[in-house]
Structure 1
Amino acid sequence: MEGNQLFPVFIKLNTIHTLLIGAGPVGLEKLSAILTNSPEASVTVIALDILPELEELARGYEKVKLIQRAFSPADLDDADLVVAATNNDALNQQIRTEADQRNLLVNFADKPELCNFYLGSIVKKGDLKIAISTNGKSPTIAKRLKEVLNDNLPEELNDTLQQMQALRNTLNGNFSAKVKKLNEVTAILVKEKSEDKVKKNFKWLIWTSIVFSFGIVITAFWHKEPEFQAYISQLNPMFYWFLIGGFIFAMIDGAIGMSYGVTSTSFSLAMGVPPASASMGVHLSEILSNGIAGWMHYRFGNVNWKLFRILLIPGIVGAVVGAYLLSSLEHYAHYTKPLVSLYTLILGGVILSKAFKVNRKHKDPKGKIKKISLLGLFGGFIDAVGGGGWGSIVLSSLIAGGRNPRFSLGTVKITRFFIALMSSLTFITMLNGAHWEAVGGLVIGSALASPIAARVSNKISVKTIMVSVGVLVVLVSLRSIVNFILKLV
């Protein structure tokens, strides 16, 4: 018979004794896979040379025992399951022969012809566990499938399992009655098809809003700033600096989900742009960039629509109030500029602190953040006043509160589009003039980077980028503050 004839099983390794032979890089990989899936597994590792990383891993598990010596057939006497991670063909053959005599199942690294069983790639979402096997033909394909499933199966799936178990425990009656009740509960999944139609129409809302908002923006530019026409024929050199800056800042934002506002605002202040005009430039550029990024995340299925609805209105209200307040103080830009620089300095420090925590795993989060509407209101207000902070405040809080990073990023991006739109219209209404060369550069540069940034968000070293951004923001902010103090002196 052709095809995969393997019979899949899930073994309770905490009830048996596993013997791992070999403690090099492959042995480390095997032990890590065992302990990741079964932390209470009883494992004995035997090898002449033990990798320091394996020793460090074993120290965290009481039931892992390390023995540094050569393999002996007697080692198999107390084993229930054997994993061989050696590159010695003669030793592998000996292990197979001795294991057969004891009726033991053995797995050999990269030796499918010697194996009694294979270790598949594992996808884990709480209590849900999926094992993938290619019948030993291509471990690489199994790993790629694992990555696809890990990226596309939501973390909330484990919540569904817990709720279904709780429901099952409350059901009474025979099997037929239980099935009927479960069908009633899961019927809501069918209704989601109609909701999908609504979501498909969401793209028209985004693109219509983009066209409408830019029509308003261009009209406002044309009437409010007579010099705007002159920029079309002869652009100020500042335009090109902000074009490059907008592209770079949008790429950074796409990679780590934050920092576009704080980097753009810090850069604008350093280039002599007043706080209100700087914030307006940031938000105008974010209309198109976040519209495109939000659309890309929507296409990738990265949007939590319930979270979107909760964040949207409070975020808009906070942004409009903040934009109105900052615009009213535009005549006092000499005094508000150091305050905004102080704010960006603090955000720079926050980014740096997060950079060194980005790889730490929070095993037991206290629970998901509850007051999301207040978070949106506060984030929108601070974002408008300081020219940035929506991502740093809202996205960071959502992830720290235990929400899925990918869905949080997509939702924050698409919500940011509407917040940027409303705060920009407020700035345009309130301000009589602005640095249009800076605004235009940011708008075009960030728009060019947005489709690229959404695709590479998972392919760049987050820590390196966050450290670089944090240092840059801190230095630029300090420069503005020091210049202000020197002028006073």
Structure 2
Amino acid sequence: MRSLILLGLVGFAAQLVDGSLGMAYGVTSTTLLLAAGTGAAATSATVHLAEIGTTLASGLSHWRFGNIDWKVVGKIGVPGALGAFAGATFLSSLSTEFAAPIMSIILLSLGLYVLIRFTAYGLPRGNLGKPLRKRFLAPLGLVAGFVDATGGGGWGPVGTPAILASGRIPPRKVIGSIDASEFLVAIAASAGFLVGLGSENIDFAWVGVLLLGGVIAAPIAAWLVRHIPPRILGSAVGGVIVLTNVRTLLRGEWVDAPGGVQTVAYVTIAALWAAAVAYSAREHRREKAIEAADAELLGPAPEEETARA
């Protein structure tokens, strides 16, 4: 019972982050399930089955708050579903011993990307209003869907930064569109795992608890996306993913590092992680101060002047 409660809290926290950042539900949940000793394919199947419900709830919540560009959802979601189905059937064919470290390497790479991307650059805001073309979104969806299914997460870490980097739609609509299109990816990946694994290797109690936690968090996250600093959250989440998957790799059969080496690695990563979060917080405050100074120099908007008159 205690493990199910903890799993529900994991689902809640992961969806809270995912719904406000556009990534990390699958990566966070998969990382923690792998750390608990669950098989790679079964872990990804469990997470994706739960995501059918959480992504639906998240998509509806983002739609309610006006955070979705439906053209983007259509152009990226269908290729993403195809990639996810292919990735799920591929992972199902691998042995657990071989798949677990491969998944940890994928997750570690995604964690490093998220940590560096958000710490160093924050959220780009140039080129707003320019259209996103299908020849960009379709290949992106195909790759992100495949990575998502084989890594247990990756739709958001691959798709969200790529669209954000284009600077063509507001960040809140990037996050809402990625979350809404992930519903198609979750259905396709789940179908692939059920074809490849069958249902006997999946713990549906775990699926239900992860789903419940995520559904509760979805509307809260959709509201928070307008208020929480994504740069700080991205640094924090990236650090968690990096630290947890380094731990999995160092303790696995591929590396099997001595205890002293593991301790040094954990302390080093924790120190760098803390520095990254502190840097992101400082940069966020600096950006806000610059925005406030610019607004003061420009003076009140024309409509404010009219209202005063």
TM-score bracket relative to the smaller structure: 0.7 to 0.9
CA drift of 1:465 comes to: 1.9
Residue 471 of structure 1 aligns with which residue? 239
Question: Where does structure 2 lack aligned partners over 5 or more consecutive residues?
Answer: 259-309
Residues 1:399 and 1:483: Cα distance change in structure 2 (over 3 Å): same
Quick one: which of 192, 195, 217 aligns to 1:449?
A: 217
CA–CA distance in structure 2, aligned partners of residues 317 and 397 of structure 1: 19
* Counterpart residue type for residue 21 of structure 2: I
Alignment of 1:206-245 (within 5 A): 235=1, 237-245=2-10
Tell whether the 8 Å contact from 1:302 to 1:406 is kept in structure 2 after alignment.
yes
CA–CA distance in structure 2, aligned partners of residues 427 and 242 of structure 1: 21
CA–CA distance in structure 1, aligned partners of residues 34 and 192 of structure 2: 20
Residue 66 of structure 2 aligns with which residue? 301
Q: What TM-score does the superposition give when structure 2 sets the normalisation length?
A: 0.75
Quick one: which of 68, 84, 98 aligns to 1:319?
A: 84
Looking at secondary structure, tell me which structure has more helix per residue: 2
CA–CA distance in structure 2, aligned partners of residues 292 and 281 of structure 1: 17
Residues 1:361 and 1:444: Cα distance change in structure 2 (over 3 Å): closer
Residue 373 of structure 1 aligns with which residue? 138
Tell whether the 8 Å contact from 1:258 to 1:392 is kept in structure 2 after alignment.
yes
Tell whether the 8 Å contact from 2:124 to 2:165 is kept in structure 1 after alignment.
no
CA–CA distance in structure 2, aligned partners of residues 486 and 422 of structure 1: 34
CA–CA distance in structure 2, aligned partners of residues 280 and 430 of structure 1: 10
Residue 19 of structure 2 aligns with which residue? 254
* Counterpart residue type for residue 428 of structure 1: L
Residues 1:480 and 2:248 aligned together:
yes
CA–CA distance in structure 1, aligned partners of residues 20 and 126 of structure 2: 24
Residues 1:386 and 2:154 aligned together:
no
Looking at secondary structure, tell me which structure has more strand per residue: 1
Q: What TM-score does the superposition give when structure 1 sets the normalisation length?
A: 0.49
Alignment of 1:79-90 (within 5 A): none
Quick one: which of 117, 121, 142 aligns to 1:354?
A: 117
* Counterpart residue type for residue 378 of structure 1: V
CA drift of 1:392 comes to: 1.0
CA–CA distance in structure 2, aligned partners of residues 449 and 481 of structure 1: 30
Residue 178 of structure 2 aligns with which residue? 412
* Counterpart residue type for residue 243 of structure 1: G
SS for the counterpart of 2:227 is coil
Residue 433 of structure 1 aligns with which residue? 201
Deviates more, 1:421-430 or 1:335-344: 421-430
Tell whether the 8 Å contact from 1:286 to 1:417 is kept in structure 2 after alignment.
yes
- Cα shift readout 1:94-141 (whole Å, capped 9, x = no counterpart): xxxxxxxxxxxxxxxxxxxxxxxxxxxxxxxxxxxxxxxxxxxxxxxx
CA–CA distance in structure 1, aligned partners of residues 63 and 125 of structure 2: 27
Residue 287 of structure 1 aligns with which residue? 52
- Alignment coverage as a number of residue pairs: 252
Quick one: which of 38, 50, 64 aligns to 1:273?
A: 38
Structure index of larger Rg: 1
CA–CA distance in structure 2, aligned partners of residues 398 and 358 of structure 1: 14
CA drift of 1:367 comes to: 8.9
Tell whether the 8 Å contact from 1:395 to 1:409 is kept in structure 2 after alignment.
yes
Residue 277 of structure 2 aligns with which residue? none
Residues 1:434 and 1:399: Cα distance change in structure 2 (over 3 Å): same
* Counterpart residue type for residue 433 of structure 1: N
- Cα shift readout 1:59-108 (whole Å, capped 9, x = no counterpart): xxxxxxxxxxxxxxxxxxxxxxxxxxxxxxxxxxxxxxxxxxxxxxxxxx
The percentage of counterpart residues that share the same residue type is 34
- Cα shift readout 1:195-245 (whole Å, capped 9, x = no counterpart): xxxxxxxxxxxxxxxxxxxxxxxxxxxxxxxxxxxxxxxx4x322221111
Structure 1 segments (4+ residues) deviating >6 Å: 364-367
CA–CA distance in structure 1, aligned partners of residues 62 and 215 of structure 2: 15
CA–CA distance in structure 1, aligned partners of residues 71 and 79 of structure 2: 14
CA–CA distance in structure 2, aligned partners of residues 424 and 323 of structure 1: 8
Tell whether the 8 Å contact from 1:367 to 1:402 is kept in structure 2 after alignment.
no
Residue 160 of structure 2 aligns with which residue? 395
CA–CA distance in structure 2, aligned partners of residues 481 and 260 of structure 1: 21
SS for the counterpart of 1:371 is helix
Tell whether the 8 Å contact from 1:273 to 1:435 is kept in structure 2 after alignment.
no
Tell whether the 8 Å contact from 1:238 to 1:438 is kept in structure 2 after alignment.
no
Question: Where does structure 1 lack aligned partners over 5 or more consecutive residues?
Answer: 1-234
CA–CA distance in structure 1, aligned partners of residues 224 and 34 of structure 2: 29
Tell whether the 8 Å contact from 1:275 to 1:340 is kept in structure 2 after alignment.
yes
